[in-house]
Amino acid sequence: KLNRKKKGKKKKKEGAQVEEDVLSEDEKMEIVERAVANAKPFDIADTMVTLATRPEFGDYQINAALGLSRALKMSPHECAGLIVEKLLPVIYEYMEEPEIAGPGFINLRFKNDYLAAATSQMAADATGRLSLPETKKKEKIIVDFSSPNIAKEMHVGHLRSTIIGDTLCNLLEFVGHDVIRLNHVGDWGTQFGMLVEHLRDEYPAALSAESSANVDLGDLVELYKAAKKRFDADPDFKIKARECVVQLQAGNDDEVAAWKALCAASRVEYQKIYDMLNIRGLVERGESFYNPYLNDVVSALESQRFAVESEGTLAVFLDGYKNRDGTPLPMIVRKSDGGFNYATTDLAAIRHRVEFEVEGGGEKADRVLYVTDAGQSQHFNMVFEAAKQAGFVPENSSLEHVSFGLVQGADGKKFATRSGDTVKLKDLLNEAVRIASEDICQRSENDCVSKEILGRVAKTVGIGAVKYADLSMNRESNYRFSYERMLSLNGNTAPYMLYAYARICGIIRKSTGQKDEKPIKWPEASEIIITEEAEVELMRNLAHLPDILLEVERDLYPNKICDYLFETSQKFNKVSFSSSCDTRKSEVDMR
Ligand code: ARG
């Protein structure tokens, strides 16, 4: 279709009075057949078929007729008619007769029998995969997320990266991909000269391989502040700090021991956050890992004359990147003091992640995802572009920046404590748990529930609320942090979802006569008999799960899953149950 169209256009452009090719009837049918073959339901990867934008349009929409009608020289409506004719034999088993709406949109709707069969198949899968097959195109996907900086406070941006990154990994793994979770911690750079030099005076034992592991460095953030203060105020210290970086980069034992002690102490701190959030499988591969590869990257860029000298630095200039004043914006890969920077490390990391022929072996990933705030978009755009132009990225590998907006305070300003300090993540998470606990403990129905169980529920609700708040927002928008909103029982929140889940479990328990079995035993799949429209609506939603997963796998917006789950729970809540089964009004009602 596209080729023909292009050809026609080109001829016109050349000014010749050549008519577009006239198609024979056979050719026309062939085009329609191809459109039909492409319009496989359950495969929204093809842009011809999309999920219906409104429930009254059915389950899917095919919009191909509008585009095809020109080439076929017929009205979009006629063209849609042809597509429908061809589509019928392919879909009649599971779809109602398609409806042609408006100028030529084709609406498809599942048959109830098919919905019943599909949902019982989902229920019959005892593995918990809901009969969803693993992907046929298994890819190796690296997700670079969380990535805090050593000896600096891990902030809400890192929290957001951790939550979004971890969820995307879980989803991609579920789909069947081979996922590598990389924590690209900031553990390298000139600031370590300053830190190690400060340790030399304040914690000399840290500068020895024998004793450094046993030194308690106290609060690292305070340590960082103290070192920075000296660095800014004392010229001698500054010089010593610079010399210290050279020693560290040369691999000198004492400085390396101190650096390791700093990394270890930071690791203990951020591990606490990962434990609270239940983050697993994250492999630390910080900036220092790529240090041995930096020289190679720079000489590759130099030998291609892609990187050029600019005011004492070595820099890459890319088309379309300008400073505010219109002058070309350099991407510096070697500073004037000979040191490398953030971009150089990221170029080396790209090579290591997508190429195979890197010394020591690369990852050869098909997709590399970078989960950081939108403030780093330009950095990643430039680094990706430079890596491609330098030939570091094989044709079939893709580099994607999964960017997210800022977390703001309730007032829309920078997220901070009342006194204006940065909020410690541990405090933030504990506060969410505390508020949840307060709410749960003051409910009379919980009077006879053990403290231990209440504590566990508070933790699930509190931490869940923080996570879900991050996930349920479109990640690109800035969002205002509000305990009240995220812990509300109404709306698309974790407490609501947990309530919905508890209610479902309650219904299952009652209808199957289970007492307190843990975990709950799901009943075996039985025949589905539809008795009301609300059930059909629920099943239609369930049948869309594969499409939602496909969309998130492709576009990486976790909020689509949250929206889907919220919708599913709402649809579930509209279904009526016999009062002997329904626990809505009794024990699990948290409102
Ligand atoms: N450490 C960085 C920061 O805190 C994030 C690193 C993201 N990953 C990367 N490959 N640059 O902003």
Point out which residues pair with 373 in neighbouring strands: 404
Contact between 482 and 488 under an 8 Å Cβ cutoff? The reply is no
CA 321–ligand 1 middle distance (angstroms): 21
Confidence at residue 2, expressed as pLDDT on a 0 to 100 scale:
25
What pTM value is reported for the model? 0.89
Please classify residue 527 by burial: count the beta carbons closer than 10 Å to its beta carbon, then call 0-12 exposed, 13-18 middle and 19+ buried: exposed
Instruction: Give the Cα separation of 241 and 199 in Å (integer).
Output: 11
CB atoms within 10 A of CB 453: 11
Ligand 1 atom at shortest distance from the alpha carbon of 144: 8
Amino acid letter, 504: I
Contact between 116 and 539 under an 8 Å Cβ cutoff? The reply is yes
Identify which of 252, 246, 339 has the alpha carbon closest to the alpha carbon of residue 294: 339
Ligand 1 atom at shortest distance from the alpha carbon of 342: 11
Amino acid letter, 95: M
Ramachandran region, residue 251 (left: φ > 0; alpha: ψ -120 to 50; beta: rest):
left
Ligand 1 atom at shortest distance from the alpha carbon of 185: 1
CA count, 13 A, side-chain hemisphere, 310: 17
Confidence at residue 7, expressed as pLDDT on a 0 to 100 scale:
32
Confidence at residue 49, expressed as pLDDT on a 0 to 100 scale:
77
CB atoms within 10 A of CB 446: 15
Question: Whose structure tokens read 């030194």?
Answer: 215
User: Residue 518 has which token pair?
Assistant: 């843990």
CA 274–ligand 1 middle distance (angstroms): 17
Give me the tens of pLDDT residue by residue for the chain, a chain 591 residues long: 222 233 333 333 333 343 445 667 777 667 667 666 655 443 444 556 788 888 888 998 888 888 777 777 788 898 888 888 888 887 888 889 999 998 889 999 999 999 999 899 998 888 889 999 999 999 999 999 999 999 999 999 999 999 999 999 999 999 999 999 999 999 998 899 999 999 999 999 999 989 988 899 989 999 999 999 999 999 999 999 999 999 998 899 999 999 999 999 999 999 999 999 999 999 999 999 999 999 999 999 999 999 999 999 999 999 999 999 999 999 999 999 888 999 999 999 999 999 877 777 889 999 999 999 999 999 999 999 999 999 999 999 999 999 999 999 988 888 888 888 889 999 999 999 999 999 999 999 999 999 999 999 999 999 999 999 999 999 999 989 999 999 999 999 999 999 999 999 999 898 888 887 778 888 887 888 899 999 999 999 999 999 899 999 999 999 999 999 999 999 999 998 877 776 554 444 443
Instruction: Give the Cα separation of 406 and 416 in Å (integer).
Output: 13
CA 385–ligand 1 middle distance (angstroms): 18
Which of 159, 160, 182, 184 to mutate for ligand 1's pocket (most ligand atoms within 8 Å of CB)?
184
* Backbone angles phi and psi of 445, in degrees to 5: -65, -15
CA 383–ligand 1 middle distance (angstroms): 13
CA 144–ligand 1 middle distance (angstroms): 8
Confidence at residue 346, expressed as pLDDT on a 0 to 100 scale:
98
Q: Angle 270-275-277 (CA atoms, 0-180°, nearest 5)? A: 95
Amino acid letter, 586: S
User: Residue 143 has which token pair?
Assistant: 């997700």
Considering just the CA atoms, what is the radius of gyration of the chain in Å? 29
Instruction: Give the Cα separation of 353 and 327 in Å (integer).
Output: 33
Ligand 1 atom at shortest distance from the alpha carbon of 379: 11
How far the first Cα of the chain sits from its last, in Å, is: 57
Identify which of 134, 254, 153 has the alpha carbon closest to the alpha carbon of residue 550: 134
116: part of which helix (H) or strand (E)? helix 112-124
Confidence at residue 17, expressed as pLDDT on a 0 to 100 scale:
41
Which of 183, 342, 376, 401 to mutate for ligand 1's pocket (most ligand atoms within 8 Å of CB)?
376
Instruction: Give the Cα separation of 353 and 481 in Å (integer).
Output: 34
Confidence at residue 39, expressed as pLDDT on a 0 to 100 scale:
53
CA 373–ligand 1 middle distance (angstroms): 9
Contact between 388 and 306 under an 8 Å Cβ cutoff? The reply is no
Confidence at residue 37, expressed as pLDDT on a 0 to 100 scale:
62
CA 151–ligand 1 middle distance (angstroms): 14
The pocket around ligand 1, CB under 6 angstroms, is made up of 144, 147, 149, 184, 186, 346, 349, 370, 372
Confidence at residue 65, expressed as pLDDT on a 0 to 100 scale:
82
Distances (CA, A) of 507 to 47, 194, 212, 273: 40, 61, 57, 35
ipTM score assigned to the predicted complex: 0.99
Identify which of 160, 182, 158, 159 has the alpha carbon closest to the alpha carbon of residue 169: 182
CA 453–ligand 1 middle distance (angstroms): 38
CA count, 13 A, side-chain hemisphere, 294: 22
